[in-house]
Structure 1
Amino acid sequence: MRIENTAAVVTGGASGLGAATATALADRGAKVFALDLPAAVDRAQETAGVTYLPCDVTDGDEVRSAVAAASSAGVPLRTVVNCAGIGPSMRVLGRKGVHDLDFFAKVVQVNLVGSFTVLAVAAEAIAATEADGQGQRGVVVNTASIAAFDGQVGQAAYAASKGGIVGLTLPAARDLAQYGIRVCTIAPGIVETPMLATVSEEFRAGLAAGVPFPQRLGRPEEYAQLALSIIEHDYLNGETIRMDGALRMAPR
């Protein structure tokens, strides 16, 4: 599918994986709408071809408003990349007692329900566009994690939310096939994002040492490269792709 002269929505687009993807899409000629929380948008680095929109992906009205803006860009909305998410940890049963139930629900609400909300609302808008010569209208790329398969101690909520995204991928692809919309998921391993910026170099080196090859942390630009490959590869659909250097996470 062609990227040039189309519109794209990227959630979590003000930093990390989302910012790298928004930049990569803009560099390829897309009109990009980067959605993020207001504080993140205020800190975002201005990028040519990228319009930043404050949006909470758990708020359906805000998502509809953002998608409407992208749909009014004068070019067809073709691409959605869901990068918005949170990754806190808590044990099912810890020193302070049982896992906070509201906390569990919040992680699922942001990571899974938020991704589904953007997918569904954007799919409605994409389905209303004119198909290309191959019957294609668009593609949605969701972000899971290798925690969906190898969740560690303290990752019950996070792994459950990301596992839900993996489980969503195939049925969503089948649901949207009649409209010419593909759905795929990327499951990154340990990537250098703002969440890792606060840890020591020694700790980062320890994380990198556990990756079979290449023995380093992933880069946001590599996630963006994979997202663009999925968008342009018309026969990739209903698939979850691990991007992890063959890493399989230990229990802790």
Structure 2
Amino acid sequence: MQIKDTAAIVTGGASGLGAATAAALAAQGAKVFAFDLPAGIEGAPQVDGVEYVAVDVTDPEQVQAAVDTAAGAGVPLRTVVNCAGIGPSMRILGKKGPHDLALYAKVVQINLIGSFNVLTLAAEKITQTQALEDGARGVIINTASIAAYDGQIGQAAYASSKGGIVGLTLPAARDLAQHGIRVLTIAPGIVETPMLATVSDEFREGLAAGVPFPKRLARPDEYAQLAQMIIEHDYLNGEVIRMDGSLRMAPR
């Protein structure tokens, strides 16, 4: 599918994976709507072709209004890349007692339900676009994690939410096939994002040493490169693609 002269939604688009993806799609000629919280947008880089929209992905009314904006951009809405997410850690039974249920629910609400919310409301708008070759209308890419498969100690909430994204992939692709919309998921390994900005170089080097090859952390632009390839490759559908240097995480 061609990216140029189309509209794209990227959630979590103000930083990390989302910012890299928004910039990459804009460089290919897309009109990109980067959804993020107001606090994130304040410090976001200004990129030609990227318009920031203040959105809480868990709020259906906010998402509907933002999707309507993207769909009314004057070019067909063809692409959605869901990158918004959080990753706090807590043991099921820790020194301070049982896992906080509200935190567990918040992680699932943002990572899984938020992605589903955007997917669903954007898909409705994509179905209203003119069909391309083979009846294609668009593609939706969600973001899981290798934690969906190799969740570590303290990742019960995060792994649950990302496991949900993995489980959503095939049924969503089957549901939306009749509308010409493909659905895929990227499951990154350890990526050099703002989430790692607070850790020491020594800790970061230790994480990189555990990756079989290449022995380094992934870069956000590599996620963006993979997302672009998925968009352009019309026969990829209903699949989860690991981007992890063949890393299989240990229990801790």
TM-score range, shorter chain: over 0.9
Q: How does 1:133-212 map to 2 (within 5 A)?
A: 133-212=133-212
After TM superposition, give the deviation of residue 159 of structure 1 in Å: 0.1
Residue 5 of structure 1 is matched in structure 2 by 5
Matched residue of 1:134: which SS? Answer: helix
Deviation at 1:180, TM superposition (A): 0.1
Shift of 1:42: 1.0
Q: For the residues of structure 2 that align with 1:161 and 1:133, how far apart are their CA atoms?
A: 35
Do residues 21 (structure 1) and 21 (structure 2) align?
Answer: yes
String of CA shifts for 1:152-189, please: whole Å, max 9, x gaps: 00000000000000000000000000000000000000
**1:223 and 2:208 correspond:** no
Q: In the TM superposition, what are the counterparts of 1:69-108 in structure 2 within 5 Å? A: 69-108=69-108
1:69-92, CA deviations, whole angstroms, 9 ceiling, x for partnerless residues? 000110000000000000000000
**Could you say what the CA RMSD is over the residues aligned between the two structures, in angstroms?**
0.4
Match of 2:47 in 1: 47
SS for the counterpart of 2:228 is: helix
**In 1, Cα distance between the equivalents of 2:166 and 2:97?**
30
CA drift of 1:22 comes to 0.1
Provide the rounded CA distance (Å) in 2 between the counterparts of 1:127 and 1:80. 13
The amino acid of 1:149's aligned partner reads Y
**Runs of 4+ in structure 1 displaced over 6 angstroms?**
none
Q: Matches of 2:198 and 2:93 in 1, distance apart?
A: 27
Quick one: distance in 1 between partners of 2:131 and 2:75? Answer: 13
Alignment coverage as a number of residue pairs: 252
Q: Deviations over 1:105-150 (max 9, x none)?
A: 1100000000000000000000111111321100000000000000
Q: Provide TM-score, normalisation by structure 1.
A: 1.00
CA deviation string 1:174-219 (max 9, x = no partner): 0000000000000000000001011111110000000000000000
What's the secondary structure of 1:191's corresponding residue?
coil
How far apart are the structure 2 equivalents of 1:83 and 1:138?
17
Taking every aligned residue pair, what percent have the same amino acid on both sides? 75
CA distance in 2, matches of 1:214, 1:30: 31
Which secondary structure state, in structure 1, belongs to the residue aligned with residue 80 of structure 2? Answer: strand
